[in-house]
Amino acid sequence: MSSIKGELHSRIIRRKIHDDKYGIVGVEIKNRRKIKSQTLEALSLNVCSKSYLCKIEKNKIDPNKAFLREICSRLELSDDKVDFLFDLRDVVIQTIKAFIVDDENYIAYAVEHGRGFKNYRYTIIKFIHYLSIKDLSAASRIHRELLKIVTNMSDFDLNIFALFSSILSLYKFEFKNALDDIEYMDVYGMDNNIEVLKKIVDFEIRYAMNTYDAPMYYMELKRILFDIGYYPLINKMEYLLGIFFIRNSCDYSLEALMDKMSDKKLYESLKCFNAFMNNDVVTLADCNDSYLNEFALAIKKIVMQDEKAIMYVKANKRDYYRLDYDQEFLDYLMLENASRRYDFIINDGIPKASSRGDGFLEKFYIYELTRMPKICRNRSLFRAHRMVNTFKVEIGDYDEERYEE
């Protein structure tokens, strides 16, 4: 059990509530006081009693703002910074909204305006910032810092941290960890944007793991997106659902979905990917490049053996995770013969897909093995079954071979 999941679960079991009534002010004061090596007595001198300051640091009282501003002044915090500190909870919520709608300007503003703060709530804002710009190295570093202090976080901050920890795991292809981090999240009574983002992540995890219940999570997500008015996000999630239907050969569901799609680019991209999965080279070649997104265009160029495009894909590998752009999948497609593809599937593809819970790639690689030359596929299928142990293939069901002997 991850430390985040464990902490969330323990608070449910023990009904332990970390009150957030007075915000993060006391935490900031305590951290800055320790950095400056000041005692409680020295900092509170001629302002308030030592015990009063101690209660402020422990968030046990609603602090007098006049006293607070004087204390913050001694800690070299301006009035503007103090006001921002009091509003930090609302800033976190606005930062989450900005993350949902890809408003990097507001996230950058929040990071810059809070620069110099030492509390964990501001650190969570920086964590969100690095995830928004896909700097996974910096995000992972801050994640490790925050993991050390989860027991000190308020319930509000712990749930936000769990949510974005799950997003980090998604970006790193660690789907099972992503599911663990939000298993015990409680968004009841929180801002709608937090609930929206959780439902987005819930659906994206099921999509990535290719679980049968992904469409149900989509319907729940669509309802709340429609209620709040996030219509562009509905199109994006609808596109992912279309890919899910293609991956699982849900032809009637895909047809019904595409009949209602208004976004030409998403429609054509789904059409291209569907043609690829069905070995329909004629339809694939007919897809208009100007309407294809990056992933669909890469697939088309690789299948059509466009050497310049293949060189471009190889030279511009993505170093971040995106649900509709799977670099490993493209790497496999670019392998030149059955022998190299066989080695990739057995030694790299299936072990990775199985370890991270990628249900689609597990099944896709096994299906690829069934269409390889008969001389090697029986033994390879047996090995694949032992690694995956979740998907049964009867060799007799497949007569077509993608590769020649």
pLDDT of residue 390: 44
- Per-residue model confidence (pLDDT) at position 394: 37
Winning range, highest mean pLDDT, from 25-34, 259-268, 357-366 = 259-268
CB-facing half-sphere around the CA of 300: CA atoms within 13 A = 24
pLDDT tier at 316, thresholds 50, 70, 90:
low
Burial class (CB in 10 A: 0-12, 13-18, 19+), 17: exposed
What the block records as the tokens of 269 is 């991209």
Does the pLDDT value for residue 388 go beyond 70? no
pLDDT at position 206 is 94
Average pLDDT over every residue of 27-37: 83
Write out the DSSP string of 235-283.
Answer: HHHHHHHHHHHHHTT-HHHHHHHHHT---HHHHHHHHHHHHHHTT-HHH
Whole-number pLDDT of residue 319: 62
| Helix %, strand %, coil % of the chain (to 5) | 70, 0, 30
Q: What percent of the chain has pLDDT over 90?
A: 40
Average pLDDT along the chain: 84
Task: Calculate what percentage of the chain has a pLDDT beyond 70.
Answer: 87
**pLDDT reading at 381 higher than 60:** no
pLDDT-derived band at 15, boundaries 50, 70, 90: low
The answer to whether the CB of 163 falls within 8 A of the CB of 131 is no
Mean pLDDT value across residues 123-141: 96
- The answer on pLDDT for 377 being more than 60 is no
Instruction: List C-alpha distances in Å: 139 to 126, 129, 157, 181, 210.
Output: 8, 8, 17, 16, 26
Give pLDDT, residue 375.
Answer: 47
What is the pLDDT confidence band of residue 17, given thresholds at 50, 70 and 90? low
- The more confidently predicted of residues 158 and 22 is 158
- On the question of pLDDT at 387 being above 70, the answer is no
The angle at the Cα of 307, spanning 301 to 310, to the nearest 5 degrees, equals: 60
pLDDT (tens digit per residue) in 62-112: 777 777 778 878 887 777 888 888 888 999 999 999 999 999 999 999 999
Q: 69-78, 284-293, 318-327, 380-389: lowest mean pLDDT where?
A: 380-389
Which tens digits make up the pLDDT trace of 44-61? Answer: 888 888 888 888 787 777
pLDDT of residue 395: 35
| Confidence grade of residue 397 (pLDDT, cut at 50, 70, 90) | very low
Q: What is the pLDDT of residues 204-239, one digit of tens each?
A: 999 999 999 999 999 999 999 999 889 889 999 999
CA distances for 222 relative to 58, 182, 305, 352, angstroms: 41, 20, 38, 31
Tokens 């804002």 correspond to what residue? 125
Instruction: Please answer whether residues 359 and 209 qualify as being in contact, where contact means their C-beta atoms are separated by less than 8 angstroms.
Output: yes
pLDDT of residue 258: 95
- Contact predicate 268/276, CB 8 Å: no
Among 161-165, 320-324, 386-390, name the one with the lowest average pLDDT. Answer: 386-390
Per-residue confidence (pLDDT) for residue 353, from 0 to 100: 86
pLDDT at 10: 82
pLDDT at position 87: 86
User: 66 near 89, Cβ under 8 Å?
Assistant: no
Measured CA to CA, the distance from residue 153 to residue 342 in angstroms comes to 48
Integer Cα distance of 12 and 151 in angstroms: 13
